[in-house]
Amino acid sequence: MKKRKFFQVATIATTLALTLSSMYNAKAETVDSKKGQTVNSASIIKSEPKYSYRDAIRETVYVQSTLDTDENGVPDKIAVDIIRPKESETGLKVPVIMDASPYYESLGRGNESEVKDKNKDGINEKFPLYYDNYFVPRGYAVALPDMVGTNQSDGCPTTGGYEEIESIKVVIDWLNGRAKAFDKNNLEVKADWTTGNVGMIGKSYDGTLANGVAATGVEGLKTIVPIGAISNWYNYYRYAGLTYYNNGPGGLASRVVNSSRKAACKHVFDRLNKDADDATGDYNKFWDERNYVKDVKNVKASVFAIHGLNDLNVKMNHFGEWWDSLNKEKVPRKLWLTQTGHVDPFDFRRAEWVDTLHRWFDYWLMGIQNGIMDEPQVDIERAADVWETRAAWPDTSAKEFKIRFAPGENEDGAGVLTTGPVRGNFSQSFTDNPRQTETQMVTNETTVKSDRLVFLSEPLSDDVRLSGAPEISLRATVDKENSNLTVMIVDYGMDTRVNHGSSGEGIRTLTERTCWGESTETDSACFKETEKTTRTGPYEIVSRGWFDPQNWKSLLKTDPLNPGKNYKFEWEALPHDYVFKKGHRIGVIVAGSSYQRTIPSTTGATFQVHLGQSYIYLPIVEGKKAVNF
């Protein structure tokens, strides 16, 4: 199916010296996650822990920016906490691992919500997470910038805006001699201890900052490791014209701002909410500024992306659009896709993750030729702790199957999915129920209900693997000027699957701790272990997609519907990589509002869907014969 240009936000937007360091031999140990055993691999060149973590230099600098986000007439300074080997004070040049974040004051980082200055005495005793404990002894510096408006940095946050990205870019500029920084006594501080090579890493907002900074093309940024990261803020608060909830940008900015500056920044938050235009859900200049995908042509850094296939916070379309654009620009990259939700790989594949990340940074920041770029590009978790490798994602052999909606043999039963023609002029109707839950949409699938349509395949004759983004085309009339649409692709069949819908989004935190690096009295390298959680049930919602029919022409403009007019509504569901097992059924649900995910419509509109003329494209890799039903 040809991608509809008005749903490709990146397309809309266009209209409006690696320095080598020391190399060391180390015997690599990785964990076979399928067997749960430690295995020895061949000798791999890796940086070794030869520098003292306890004796490392710890400092806070304030980088001068050109920003004035709180509009007080004084340029904002960006606070950066740095830890580096003491030898870097006497000639050793080290690369920098950077985790820029808005969360260092209160919400914290990692599964245990670590913050910097826990006792609020103005002194940073702790570097959250394990990057410092593990990598500083191996010859790296670790820098933790406070995003503009947060923690010790000046100003006000702007939820993905230019100011936030610039506040981190200027830190990389300072590390490469292009900006100035000062200590707490206002004495200038130079970064003469670094090679200038920077690798950014982080989950969620932190990874989002990495994406945004990479899209500026800043010199010195050699690699980014975005984990569950936003690539386009429109897609974080909207889906194809529908709004997830109101006042999102201003609300988030108010949540992360330095707690003493909420009142001073309120006018900024109010402006964010106004410019976001919740009323229409349309794409505008505000969102265009926060769309990093449109600038992917500027990316010079390599990318190691990690994303949850079932992440309903930062959904898979963020990763999908970013990855597809990186592919077109031939950016060097690597990928892990997990069956969890919004979870860090340190908490779902710990030993393998730390080893892989170590080799990734060694290669891109120290220039150590360890062969990591010769390995398969993609790791996909197929079931709990069962991983497979692939050469690319989506799979290059995926073929789009056009699967039509057809009436069932029994008028009291569900419709059917067919790859063949649908002879006759059939239609089915449903009425939007703004309080219908997802569970109500997908259960009792063989029963006709007035507020949803169900189309089912025959039991599959073989396993069927989906890889990519489903696309739906719905030919329908509607009796109101406005409504919502929802589509879900469902796997019907009893199975045990990762419990990504649980509070831990697929993991459970244990009491046992394991250590990753060196510790001090105030900064432990030991973290609670986790384990995967599973559930056994008769179905799995594989992919979801929502749509505002009033944006049927374009995301740029709301166009009220003409009751009774025949429309062709087209939109994408969330990307996935999923195997429907032999004997299971593929189901497609079509309904109106999904109040658990978006602001529901209140019109109670009825849709008359023309079968045969309505269909879904599923990108199928394996089991192609099985979908010829």
Amino acid at 208: T
Range name among 38-42, 97-101, 500-504 with the lowest pLDDT average:
38-42
Nearest to 163 by CA among 232, 209, 116: 209
- Interior angle at CA 100, CA 96 and CA 106, nearest 5: 135
d(CA 132, CA 140): 8
User: Per-residue pLDDT tens for 177-200?
Assistant: 999 999 999 999 999 999 999 999
d(CA 91, CA 87): 7
Give percent of the chain with pLDDT exceeding 70. Answer: 93
Q: What are phi and psi of 159, to 5 degrees?
A: 50, 70
Kindly indicate the confidence band of residue 9, based on its pLDDT and cuts at 50, 70 and 90: low
Which positions are catalytic? Answer: 204, 311, 342
User: Per-residue pLDDT tens for 547-596?
Assistant: 999 999 999 999 999 999 999 999 999 999 999 999 999 999 999 999 99
Tell me what pLDDT residue 5 has: 39
- pLDDT of 19 over the 80 cut: no
Q: What are phi and psi of 358, to 5 degrees?
A: -55, -50
- pLDDT of 628 over the 90 cut: no
Q: Is residue 337 a contact partner of residue 376, using CB atoms and an 8 Å limit?
A: no
Tell me what pLDDT residue 128 has: 96
Q: Which residue has the higher pLDDT, 16 or 380?
A: 380
Class of domain 399-622: mainly beta
Nearest to 591 by CA among 445, 468, 464: 445
Q: Where in the chain is the domain with CATH 3.40.50.1820?
A: 57-390
Mean pLDDT of the chain: 93
User: Per-residue pLDDT tens for 429-486?
Assistant: 999 999 999 999 999 999 999 999 999 999 999 999 999 999 999 999 999 999 999 9
Q: Is residue 561 a contact partner of residue 550, using CB atoms and an 8 Å limit?
A: yes
- pLDDT of 92 over the 50 cut: yes
d(CA 516, CA 44): 19
Tell me what pLDDT residue 150 has: 98
d(CA 554, CA 7): 7
d(CA 50, CA 102): 32
- Give me the half-sphere count of Cα atoms (radius 13 Å) on the Cβ side of residue 177: 6
- pLDDT of 169 over the 50 cut: yes
Tell me what pLDDT residue 7 has: 42
| pTM, full prediction | 0.92
Q: Where in the chain is the domain with CATH 2.60.120.260?
A: 399-622
Tell me what pLDDT residue 31 has: 35
Kindly indicate the confidence band of residue 124, based on its pLDDT and cuts at 50, 70 and 90: confident
d(CA 196, CA 360): 17
Tell me what pLDDT residue 412 has: 67
Tell me what pLDDT residue 43 has: 58
Range name among 63-67, 121-125, 385-389, 537-541 with the lowest pLDDT average:
121-125
Terminal CA-CA length for the chain: 19
Tell me what pLDDT residue 117 has: 85
* H or E segment to which residue 467 belongs: strand 464-468
Tell me what pLDDT residue 23 has: 34
User: Per-residue pLDDT tens for 390-407?
Assistant: 999 999 999 999 999 999
Q: Which residue has the higher pLDDT, 268 or 28?
A: 268
Could you please state the CATH topology (level 3) that the domain comprising 57-390 is classified under: Rossmann fold (3.40.50)
Kindly indicate the confidence band of residue 35, based on its pLDDT and cuts at 50, 70 and 90: very low
- pLDDT of 609 over the 80 cut: yes
User: Per-residue pLDDT tens for 321-331?
Assistant: 999 999 999 99
Q: What are phi and psi of 625, to 5 degrees?
A: -65, -30
- Mean pLDDT value across residues 489-507: 98
The DSSP letter of residue 353 is H
- What is residue 123's three-state secondary structure? coil
- What is residue 327's three-state secondary structure? helix
Tell me what pLDDT residue 118 has: 83
Amino acid at 45: I
Residue 374, beta-bridge partner list? none
User: Per-residue pLDDT tens for 225-277?
Assistant: 999 999 999 999 999 999 999 999 999 999 999 999 999 999 999 999 999 99
